[in-house]
Amino acid sequence: MKVLKYKSYDPSVYLLEQILVKLGYSVVISNYFGKDTAQAVRDFQLKNDLVVDGIVGVKTWSKLLALEKGLFENTDKLLSEKDLNDFSQEYNLELALVKAINEIESQGKGFLISGRAKILFEGHVFWRELEKRNVDPEKYASEDTKHILYKKWTKKYYVGGEGEYLRLKLASNLDANPDFFDAAHAASSWGSFQIMGYHYKSLGYESIQMFVDAMQTHEREHLRAFGKFLKVNNLMVPLRNKDWDAFSRGYNGPSYKRNQYDTKLKLTYFKYRNTA
C-alpha cells in the first residue's frame, strides 16, 4: 500500500478513512488526508504500540488491515441470544438484567477487534496486589510509572481498547519478579462483565494464568465467570429484586455512586425490558 500522511490526496486515503470509521473513529471519508484523519492515525498508533508519527506506512497499514479483517472474523467468540437465555433460566434472572450489565460493562462486546478479551488495567489495584505479595510499591513509583502504579483510583490514565494491554504489559514487566506478572493481571478487569482478575481463586480457577486463558477463549466463559461471581458474592438476590444500590455496591465497589453505576444499570434494564 502507498505511504500516506497529512495532506496526502490519493484514492487509498478513502480506504484508510473507511477502515478508521469501522474502528470507531469519527473522520470524513474522502480522498484527502486531513487533520481529523491525522489525529485518528496518531491515536491508533499510540493504542497499538506503533511509532506515533501520523504516517501510514507498512506497519500501520498491516495493523489496520489485520484489525479490519478481525471485525468479521471474531464473531465465533461472541455470545448468542440462546447463551443469554440459558443463563437467565439457570439463575432465575430476567434476561433484561443480564443484557443491561453486559452492555454497561463492555458496551455489549467482550472482545476487541484484535480477538483479545476486553480489559481495563487499574493502577491502584496493582499497588494493592503488589503489597499483598510483600512488594513495596513505593520503590517502583516514579514519574515514568505514574500511569500504571498509583495509590488511589483515578480514570485519567485509562486509554481503552488495545492501549490497556500496553499498560498491562508495562506493569507486568516492571520487574523480573513473577509476582509482578500475577499482580498486574490480577489488577485488570476482564471480558464482557469486567471481572477483576484477583477474584480468580474464589471463582474456582487454579491460577491467575488459568483465569486469563479462559477469558481469552469465548464470551461464554465470561458469562460463566459472571455467574460464579454472583453466587460467591451473594449478589443473586439483590439483582433479582432490582435492589440497584445493593447490587451496584457489591458488584462495582464503593465508588459506584461516583460513576452513577446504579442509575445507568436501572435505565439500561428498563431499555431492554421495554423492548422485550
pLDDT in tens, 126-156: 999 999 999 999 999 999 999 999 999 999 9
What mean pLDDT do residues 89-114 have? 84
The residue assigned the cell 505479595 is 133
Q: How confident is the model at residue 258 (pLDDT cuts 50, 70, 90)?
A: confident
Among candidates 74, 117, 75, which has minimal Cα distance to 223?
117
Stated as kind and residue range, the H or E segment containing 130 is helix 123-132
pLDDT in tens, 36-57: 999 999 999 998 888 888 999 8
State the pTM of this model.
0.72
* SS3 of the chain: helix, strand, coil, percent, to 5: 55, 5, 40
Q: What are phi and psi of 68, to 5 degrees?
A: -65, -40
Question: Which domains are seen in the chain, by residue range?
Answer: 11-73 (1.10.101.10), 77-274 (no CATH)
pLDDT band at 70 (very low <50, low <70, confident <90, very high): low
What is the average pLDDT across 17-38? 90
**Which residues of 96-227 form beta strands (DSSP E)?**
119-121, 188-190, 195-196
pLDDT at 244 over 80: yes
The confidence score (pLDDT) of residue 102 equals 81
Reduced to 3 states (helix: H, G, I; strand: E, B; else coil), residue 77 is helix
Q: Distance between CA atoms of 191 and 117, rounded to whole angstroms?
A: 5
Tell me the pLDDT band of 75, cut-offs 50, 70 and 90: low
